[in-house]
Amino acid sequence: MILEVRAVAPFYKNGFVVGCERTREAVLIDPGDEVDELLGAVRDLDVDVQAVLLTHAHIDHTGYVPRIAKSGYRGPVYTTPPTAALLQVLWPDAAHLHEEDARYANRTGYSRHRPALPFFDSEDARRALTLLRPVSFHERVELAPGLAFTFRRVGHILGASFIVVETDGKRLVFSGDVGQHGVPILKDPESPEAADHLVLESTYGDRLHPDGSPREELGRAVAEAAAKRGAVLIPAFAVGRAQDVLYHLRSLQREGRLAPDLPIYLDSPMAVSAVDLYCGALSEHDIEMTTLQDKGLCPIDGPSVHFVRDRVESQALNGRKGPLVIISASGMLSGGRILHHLKHRLPDPETTLLFVGYQADGTLGRRILEGAHDVRIHGQSVTVRAEIREISALSAHADQRGLVDWVGAIATPPRAVYLVHGEPAAREALAAALRAKPGWSVVLPREGDAIELK
């Protein structure tokens, strides 16, 4: 067996090839956004891709599938039913963004290619969707004699799984993104009981989420911001984070700890579509969600919530005076409608910009969080006078303790743990924490490393 670990840095890219030396058959796991290197790895290893397996819908784990569909791949793409449903929204949206990028490049001459072509287009996204083969959690699928996989719940976003691949009698576990216990809406993560080899994410490998309830913290932050009668801008991933934040805000309103008429705008067509999927995925709901739902309406919705799909309606929010809450994508301020809200409201000291998710190195979100006074948005200089706050405990990712606990159920140490999906400091810190466990060996693969699994 060969495990080709690809693109571990920068942190947001993913993609693994797991191939069998004997049969030359391989599966791709989580081919993330724009990882053309992955097909290079498939060629170098001289293997045939039999299937693609996806841990969850986030585009940094799935965004390459329409591209390989474009280049002729017609094999199955396995994932859980809720992930398949989310991808019906995410892939066409990603295609649309790629098409817009290409149009922009052609208009401004900003491209090496003439004409600039989208990374993939709507037709590729549609074709990729036809390849999806939903498989329920815990259903073991045998791809070939001696090669099987199973999805298990991991609590990161709706439908998110870790994958157990069994091959030649070995058990490989791919964590995907590991969620936290006790988050709203979703069932808690399950644990892998055994692994010969474990590929583990390390996003928050060097951090501990503060103790205390993130809902309380969110309530305090929003109540204080609302008292200033300003706008509270919450950048959030459209799928996962946005629904969690909305759920918490609605709970606080129901409990009377936030004004019940404080308007909350969910300004992202994708996030709005995902709300419907979150509300409809009854089999994935935790007890709190089920109990609330038994009483009638979906707890993510309510009279104070306004779903904004339309672009004109989104722009009209600029004219609205606070207090109000705007939840919008993208979560790290790398694009999306949040940018036009920032351009309009960052110079206003009454605005509160509230971060609720990870801000990667090099993103606009990280720069603002680190105290930038002037930032560039759509080519314009924007002065930051807004109050900047952060609630890290709301993250969809487990922290260092959470990750160490998650692997704690593995009784016999794996032959090796491979740490991926983390910046260098996070990987180093998590490696140190895991090496403190007797008998545990940790490897920090570099981009493009091929690892022989024995």
- Token reading at 115: 């004409």
Q: Which stretch binds Zn ion (CB under 5 A): 39-47, 58-66, 343-351, 373-381?
A: 58-66
- In this structure, which amino acid lies at residue 174? F
Tell me, by CB under 5 A, how many residues bind Zn ion: 2
List the alpha helices (DSSP H) in 200-309.
214-227, 241-254, 269-280, 287-294
CB of 454 to Zn ion, least distance (A): 30
Which CB sits closer to Zn ion, 322 or 336? 336
Q: Which is nearer to Zn ion, 177 or 267 (CB)?
A: 177
> Residue 65 Cβ, how far from Zn ion at the closest point, in Å?
15
- Chain position whose Cβ is nearest to Zn ion: 58
304-343 footprint of Zn ion as x/- string (CB under 5 A): ----------------------------------------
CB of 102 to Zn ion, least distance (A): 26
The minimum distance between CB 57 and Zn ion, in angstroms, equals: 8
8 Å CB contact between 45 and 26: yes
Which range of residues in 56-64, 253-261, 284-292, 412-420 is near Zn ion by CB under 5 A? 56-64
Tokens of 60: 């940094």
Contact mark string toward Zn ion, 96..125, x via CB under 5 A: ------------------------------
CB of 1 to Zn ion, least distance (A): 26
CB of 180 to Zn ion, least distance (A): 13
Minimum distance from CB of 239 to Zn ion (Å)?
Answer: 9
Nearer to Zn ion, 58 or 153 (CB): 58
Residue closer to Zn ion by CB (options 56, 344) is 56
> How would you label 125-146 residue by residue, b for 16+ Cβ within 10 Å and e otherwise?
bebbbebbebbebeeebebeee
Name which of 192 and 230 has its Cβ closer to Zn ion.
192
- Cβ atoms of 77 and 51 within 8 Å: the answer is yes
Question: Could you give the angle at which helices 122-130 and 81-108 cross, rounded to 10 degrees?
Answer: 160
Distance CA 191, CA 153 (A): 8
State the Cα–Cα distance between residues 174 and 122, nearest whole angstrom: 30
Burial class (CB in 10 A: 0-12, 13-18, 19+), 252: buried
Interface of this chain with Zn ion, residues 173 to 232, rule: CB under 5 A: 177
Work out the number of other CB atoms within 10 angstroms of the CB of residue 226.
Answer: 19
Judged by beta carbon, residue 327 or residue 416, the one nearer Zn ion is 327
Q: What is the dihedral of CA 80, 86, 92, 98, to 10 degrees?
A: -90
Nearer to Zn ion, 58 or 207 (CB): 58
| Shortest reach from residue 189's CB to Zn ion, in Å | 13
Element (H, E) at 60: helix 59-62
Output 155 or 322, the one with its CB closest to Zn ion.
155
Minimum gap (Å) between residue 397 Cβ and Zn ion:
8
C-alpha to C-alpha distances, 386 to 16, 320, 352, nearest whole angstrom: 41, 17, 6
Under DSSP, is residue 265 helix (H, G, I), strand (E, B) or coil? strand
Nearer to Zn ion, 158 or 233 (CB): 158
Asked if 58 interacts with Zn ion (CB under 5 A), we say yes
| Chain contacts with Zn ion (rule: CB under 5 A) | 58, 177
